[in-house]
């Protein structure tokens, strides 16, 4: 892990305010920009519905928002695997077992 990666103690327990073990600031910045763009797209969708726009046009925009969200999800999953899961596996023990279970749940949830 390089110095530009913030260390925070991912999955350090079951506290509800857990933080990621390592987050690359560039990836975080890109994800925040994507999410702001998605927020704008969602507002645009609201406007399209309010204006009774043609349904296929709305559906195309919905597909665009869904793909943008999937892209953010892929980045987050990659970061989680790279830092949090790797740390848990190296640590071993019950922490690793809990992380494996969490990872399986994440894979099933994100593949829907």
Per-residue pLDDT at 2 exceeds 60: no
H helix count then E strand count, the chain: 4, 2
Architecture of the structural domain at 21-110:
Up-down Bundle (1.20)
Per-residue pLDDT at 101 exceeds 80: yes
d(CA 41, CA 98): 37
**24-53 residue pLDDT tens:** 888 899 999 999 999 999 999 999 999 999
Q: Which of 21, 61, 25 is nearest to 41 (CA)?
A: 61
Spans of all domains in the chain: 21-110
Reading phi first (left if > 0) and then psi (alpha if -120 to 50, else beta), residue 19 is in: beta
Instruction: Select the more confidently predicted residue: 16 or 7.
Output: 16
d(CA 45, CA 57): 10
The three-state secondary structure class of 21 is coil
**55-92 residue pLDDT tens:** 999 999 999 999 999 999 999 999 888 888 998 899 89
């Amino acid at each position: 892990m390089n110095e530009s990666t913030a260390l925070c103690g991912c999955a350090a327990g079951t506290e509800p305010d857990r933080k990621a073990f390592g987050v690359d600031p560039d990836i975080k910045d890109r994800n925040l920009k994507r999410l702001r763009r998605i927020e704008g797209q969602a507002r645009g969708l609201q406007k399209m519905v309010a204006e009774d726009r043609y349904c296929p046009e709305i559906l195309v925009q919905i597909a665009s928002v869904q793909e943008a969200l999937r892209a953010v999800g892929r980045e987050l999953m990659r970061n989680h695997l790279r830092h949090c899961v790797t740390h848990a596996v190296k640590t071993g023990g019950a922490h690793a077992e809990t992380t494996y279970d969490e990872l399986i749940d994440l894979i099933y949830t994100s593949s829907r």
